[in-house]
Amino acid sequence: MQAESERGYLSRARLAALGSLIALALAGCGSQTAFPIRPEAAKARAGEVSKEVRVIPLSTANIAAYSTPRNLSGPRTTIPSAGHWQYRVGPADILSIVVYDHPELTAPAGPNQTPEKSGIRVDAQGYFYYPYIGRVRARGRTADQIRAELMQRLNKYIKDPQVEVRVVSYNAQSVSVTGQVTKPLREPLTDVPLTLLDAINGAGGLTKTADPRRVMVRRHGRRYIVDLQAFLDNGIGANNPTLVNGDVVSVPLIQPLDAYLMGQVIKPGTVDLTHENVTLTRALSEVGGLKLGAADARGIFVFRAAGPRIDVFQLNARNPAAFLIGTRFILHPNDVIYVTTAPLARWNRVISDILPSLTSVYYAKLNGL
């Protein structure tokens, strides 16, 4: 868990360094460029701009392509269904066996004992001893199956025996809940199905730093990632599976998903995209908007790694109505939004300066660094 946190910190540190690099690149060149920047103009000088950079001026004609909200829910879980739940008795379980009209068989330890103390413990081999009939196999059986055998074997000694069998102490089967929960614990399984949400609630619920979208369940040597939030938000029943004996539930530390805003804005910083979709206009408003007198409204850029290519979106907000276009542009995690100062630095040189850093951050992300 600590390693995950450190990787998240390093990723954010790299992106912060990248932002500083962009700022230096944009501020370090001296000539002006006409607006709006055209993709062909951006690549006018051979060798100065990589062919892997795509410049996309945002307009009413193309904004629909960037207006689709990110799907914040994960897929349906692939964890196998536990099917119809039936508790099966195992070693260390304690059984209460009642034979009506035969108190000597019902409470052999005495009438004033609790069911747990007067009950019959299943031994390590999965058997228990019962008067008259001797050893009875319990392991892997339901209480009803044990009851049926007892009735059949007692019938030799008691006419039409009426028998009740209950598990009064569940000790054989359990699941473990660890990670970002209030009280990590080992939780016993009973005759009532235990779902993932029930198990987490039994452990005191999620902490503030938990990530319910990436809950890991280890089962029979395999790991399954379950988006529990998709069950809470959208009722996807498969994402609240019934747990089985030996399952280990681990709730990870949340890894924030941010977009980074810098340049000529009032309060450079980050915008949290972890739990909701955020548009470009909203992100700019959350950092106080553009700096009057310093920002060039024609130069609002969004840098986005798209595989080995870098997409650079430009919003020309010289006309304030352009911010309506920004209300439809959905930001992605790790987007870098930069607002230039006037006069704008020479565009080709800017891209040439920042491309190696953008590319290295992208590949570092691919390698999990």
- For residue 327, count other CB atoms closer than 10 A to its CB: 13
Cα(117)–Cα(76) distance, integer angstroms:
44
Cα(318)–Cα(270) distance, integer angstroms:
24
CA-to-CA separations, 118 to 109, 114, 134, 168, 310, in angstroms, rounded: 5, 6, 18, 10, 72
Q: What would the two tokens of residue 236 be?
A: 């996807």
Beta strands in the chain (DSSP E): 53-57, 94-99, 120-121, 127-130, 134-137, 163-169, 174-179, 185-188, 215-219, 222-226, 248-251, 258-263, 269-272, 295-306, 309-315, 336-341
Percentage of residues in the chain having pLDDT higher than 90: 54
CA distance between the termini of the chain: 15
What pLDDT, on a 0 to 100 scale, did the predictor assign at position 48?
44
> Between these two residues, 308 and 83, which has the higher pLDDT value?
83
Phi then psi for 8, rounded to 5 degrees? -60, -40
pTM as predicted: 0.68
Q: What is the mean pLDDT of residues 339-356?
A: 58
Statement: residue 45 has pLDDT above 60: no
- What is the pLDDT confidence band of residue 111, given thresholds at 50, 70 and 90? low
| Among 36-40, 238-242, 248-252, 256-260, the least confident range | 36-40
| Among 24-38, 76-90, 145-159, 235-249, the least confident range | 24-38
Domains of the chain: 2-70+277-366 (3.10.560.10), 94-169 (3.30.1950.10), 174-251 (3.10.560.10)
Q: What is the mean pLDDT of the chain?
A: 82
Phi then psi for 9, rounded to 5 degrees? -65, -45
Statement: residue 175 has pLDDT above 70: yes
Torsion of Cα atoms, 330 then 336 then 342 then 343, to 10°: -110
What pLDDT, on a 0 to 100 scale, did the predictor assign at position 358?
56
